[in-house]
Chain A
Amino acid sequence: MTVSVYLPLLVSVVLAVSVRPLAKALPPRLGLWVLTAAAVIAGVGTVWTSLLLGSLLVDDIPAFDAAERLVPVDDMMSLGAAAFLGTGAVRSCLAVRRLLHTRRRLRRLNAMPGGELLVVADPRPDAFAVPGSRAGGGRVVVTQGMLRALDAGQRRALIAHERTHLRARHSIALSLAELAAAMNPLLVPVRRAVGFLSERDADEGAVAVAGSRRLVAEALAAAARARSASAAASPLAPGFHQFGVVDRVSALLAPEPVTRLRHVWIVGAMTLLAVGAAFDATRDFAWIVQILLRH
């Protein structure tokens, strides 16, 4: 095999290392879908090339004698690829099961009577968007505790934020990124970045409705403080986040939006590289198989 077979893995590593600064500079709406596509392609590409490497464990010696262009694959490499595939398969099964389980539970919340806004009689401040099964569906779920912690303008921002999640169908991007990260654990930071960009996109949606960046920033701060105060008093699971509220508030209050289209091209180029390499590796593999069959 040539170096191509390792390139999807390399692209995954580069994505994982560079995704944090990238995510902060990407335009949210476009960026979240570009990163999701990159994660899916890098994930599938790595699985595919690992499959090629793993199957060379069977018999590769005569083939490599015949094809000088191709560098033989060390059996350790093949074993590593097989182990990687195994972990990825187990993680993917678990992720799919978790996703389906969550969707089933969420469907019950979706089936509750009422309008798009579902208020929950719970004093702990919390709010989230529950995706529906079709475009324009889904619910905005907010606890009474959250509504009481915010003023009118902040409630407007909160509702507009959650409605943006639903209309932009962020849950699809998040589910895809989650699956890609399950197949290839190197992509876990990319999944987090997709989550961050979804939040950024929803924040911008809230700005468009509420009419003020500062108001949305203050709504985030008020909600986060209320949640933290409540978490201190009760065993509310703290969110572990690579990107937090602070990054979103900073992005809202930055004098100039720092989104750069150039970064979209960088991610696009890495993705194309992974695709091209996977094709190249497949062609090499087909050749090896052909030679093996001739012997």
Chain B
Amino acid sequence: MARRDAARPRRSAGQLEGEILSALWAADGPMTAIEVQAAVGDDLAYNTVHTILTRLHCKGQVHRLGPAGRSTYKPAKGAAEVAAEQMRAVLDTGADRGEILMRFVSTLGAAEEAALRAALDAEGS
């Protein structure tokens, strides 16, 4: 699989939007486009970051603060709070138990935690 590791494929617009939005949500406060570019932590061009921020702003997912050229961006919170209620309603139905809902990871038991550490360390050294 070393072949795959060498060549990084270009990411789709949807993927990039997700990455930039999630970088803003992970941050403590508003960020400039340059800070976002650094927070996405990859070889993304500044222009690409700016274009996507503008698109997210148009869709109402991101607030833009300050004058053009030195604007900062922060995520729009309203929908996220409604989403939190909706999510709890979904999880209360037990949707996550029938595996219909595809959860990223489950919780770990003590034995699994140790096995996980061993698996990661064995390869990493």
Q: Which residues of A contact B (CB under 8 A)?
A: 95, 98-99, 101-102, 105-106, 108-109, 112-122, 126-130, 140-144, 146-148, 150-153, 155-156, 158-163, 165, 170-171, 174-175, 178, 191-192, 195, 198-199, 202, 207-209, 211-214, 217-218, 220-221, 223-225, 227-228, 231, 236-241, 244-246, 249-250, 253, 257
Contact = CB atoms under 8 A, between A and B. Distances in A.
Contact of B61 (A114, A127, A143): A114
Contact of B103 (A105, A126, A225, A257): A126
A31 to B, nearest CB: 16
B100 A178 contact: yes
Nearest to B20: A117
B23 A152 contact: yes
B27 to A, nearest CB: 9
B8 interface: yes
Interface string B93-119: 111111111111111100011011001
Residue among B19, B39, B108 with max Cβ neighbours from chain A (10 Å): B108
Instruction: Please provide the 6 A-B residue pairs with the shortest distance between their CB atoms, ordered closest to farther.
Output: A239-B106, A152-B41, A211-B8, A117-B18, A121-B80, A127-B104
Interface in B20-63: 21-23, 25-26, 39-42, 56, 59-61
Contacts of B95: 102, 105-106
A117 B21 contact: yes
19 contacts: A105-B86, A115-B21, A126-B104, A140-B18, A147-B25, A151-B41, A156-B19, A162-B102, A178-B100, A192-B99, A202-B102, A220-B104, A224-B108, A225-B113, A225-B116, A244-B108, A245-B105, A246-B115, A246-B116
B119 to A, nearest CB: 5
Contacts of A212: 5
Contact of B26 (A126, A148, A241): A148
Nearest to B61: A114
Interface of B: 1, 4-5, 7-9, 11, 14-15, 17-19, 21-23, 25-26, 39-42, 56, 59-61, 75, 77, 79-84, 86-87, 89-91, 93-108, 112-113, 115-116, 119-120, 122-124
Contacts of A161: 104
A245 B119 CA distance: 11
Contact of B83 (A118, A195, A198, A208): A118
A245 B120 CA distance: 12
B116 A249 contact: yes
Given A102-B95, A120-B83, A239 B18 contact: no
A120 B108 contact: no
